[in-house]
Chains A and B, each alone.
Chain A
């Protein structure tokens, strides 16, 4: 009797997304565009931090744009548009993460070569966005002082794929009895060597350090493609 055959496939399950994301990153980087993918739980402060980032970069004359993923509403896109930057909403209709083709299709008509930075606010979720490369050069994981210091240990997969972490809402740290050292140690445990910034949109803390980081990354990208 003929047995079923085993066919070795050895293929990345998300190959299609990976390939598209790689091609997108090549294009972005060749244009001198630094793309940032922002991931965190809902309510951590992605939209607030991004709006602050867009407003301040624009005030410095730096061309920026953003796309924001949301399950059903366009509230975040409207809040971000207050910065004056071009903003587009990606409605995911229940999908818990963004995928590369969704980002690509929402960039149509923008002259990417004129932009220095493009920010992607991912859907608020600490698990699902992990495996989807969106063509970004920088993945920013955010964690607020109100969430508890052990978040990185509960979601190591996500923190482990990040390039930089932001601890947000530091203006509330004292009220939440936030243990800063412990939070930093937990991030370090799951992603040794990762840069950590401490931010607040109320006090403006950490924003300059964030901009220094972005500028440094963009210079590195320009040097690579020059």
Chain B
């Protein structure tokens, strides 16, 4: 369950970023997850709910942008998206390539911040704030 460690890092970064921006409540996070990153989305969601419970991030939404693998094919002199992750072969010519250009992402892309008083009025803000 390495998703728990990942969820903890997401919360730490989101919290720190919101604080640097002068506070406000984090109501959502958007991730970019490469298909090679070995993250199980359902496990990550449950972990995220678990680690945010009882914190100011409780109830925050989690959006995932899945990033397919892209390889560079030398013979074709072009970059290609792969349909899967089990064969790193150029879809055009079949050449095997270890030159990976995308697909290993494990990034926090953006966070959604609601000003505290607005957040208190929105329906998602059911959790009482420990202000």
Binding site for B on A (CB under 8 A): 1-2, 4-16, 95-97, 99, 127-132, 153, 156-158, 160-161, 188-194
Contact = CB atoms under 8 A, between A and B. Distances in A.
Contacts of B107: 10-13
B62 interface: no
Majority-rule SS of B interface residues:
mixed
Contacts of A13: 6, 9-10, 13, 31, 106-108
B36 A11 contact: no
Nearest to B121: A1
A190 B13 contact: no
Contacts of B89: 189
A192 B106 contact: no
B46 interface: no
A158 B38 CA distance: 8
B85 A14 contact: no
A5 B113 contact: yes
A161 to B, nearest CB: 8
Contact of B100 (A2, A130, A160): A160
Contacts of B114: 4-5
Interface residues of B, number: 41
Nearest to A127: B38
B108 A192 contact: no
Nearest to A7: B111
Contacts of A192: 88, 96-98
Given A96-B1, A160-B100, A14 B111 contact: no
Contacts of A193: 96, 98
B86 interface: yes
A13 B37 CA distance: 12
B127 interface: no
13 contacts: A4-B27, A5-B24, A6-B110, A7-B21, A11-B108, A12-B107, A13-B6, A14-B106, A15-B9, A15-B13, A156-B85, A193-B96, A193-B98
A15 B5 CA distance: 12
Nearest to B8: A13
Contacts of B38: 127-128, 130-131, 157-158
B40 to A, nearest CB: 8
A8 B13 CA distance: 12
B55 interface: no
